[in-house]
Structure 1
C-alpha cells in the first residue's frame, strides 16, 4: 500500500512538472517538483524506495514531456550517492543542510544536463545565459521550494532518516 501511494505521488509530481511548473518560471528556470519529491522521499524515508521510484518517474516524466528517458535518468542519478557521501563525511551537517545540499547540487546537475541535451539537439549554445538565467535562479528556487516544504514537515513531527541501507545476506 505504501509503495502504491509513493508511486502515485511521484506520478502526480511528474504530471505537475509538465503542466503546472511552466506556469511559474523564475527567470529561465521552473520548479522541479519531481526532484523535490525524490529528495523528500530520500530524506524522510530510506534510500530503497528512491532506488525503485527514480527510474519509474524518470521514464514517466520523459514520456510526459517528450524528453529522452536516459537523459532524465542520468540527471536524477547523483541524488542518492551524494546524500550518502554527505552523511558519511566528517563535516558536521544537520539533516536540513544535507537535504538542501542534495537538492541544490542535483538541481544544478539536472538543469545543466538538460541544457546540454538541448544544445546537442540544435539549441544555441549560450553558456553565460545558462548560468545567469537558468542555473542561479534554479539554485535559489530549489532552495526556497525545499525550505517551504521541509520546515512544515519537520514541525509536523516527521523525523529525517539516514541514507544507509540495512545490511542483509543470502541464506
Structure 2
C-alpha cells in the first residue's frame, strides 16, 4: 500500500516541480523582455512587475510542497537519530501530526479570506483576474497537496511504531522524491 501511495505522491511532486520550473522560466523571460523593451525601445511592459510578483507567490507555495515531499524541512537529527526505532517513528508521527493539524486549520480558515480576496482584481495585468487566484488559490492547492504528503508520512511513521522495523531504511530512501 505504501508503495502505491508513494508512487502517486511522487507523480504529483513531479508535476509540481515541472510547474515550478515553468513559472521560474516565465519570470526570467518576463524580466528579460522587460529589460530589452525598456532599454531598447523605451516602451516597458506595464504588467511585468505585478505578474512577476504573483508568479513568485505561486513558486513559493509550490516549492514548499516539493520541499515537504523531499523532506527538506528543518530536522534535529542529533536527538532523534539516537533514539530507538520505535521512539524515532513516534517522534516522526508527532511531528507530522502537528503539520497535519496546522494544515487543516489553515485550510479551514482560508475560505472566508478567499471570499474577501475575490472582491478585488489585479491592477496592471492585461486581463482582470480575482486576486484570490494569486494568493488563496495557490495556498489552498499546495496546502492540500502538503496535507496528502504529511498524511502519508504520518501513516508510515505510525506503521513504524506498530511494526518496529519500518524505519530501517535511511531517510533519503523514505523521501517521496529526490
* TM-score normalised by L of structure 2: 0.30
Normalised TM-score (structure 1): 0.30
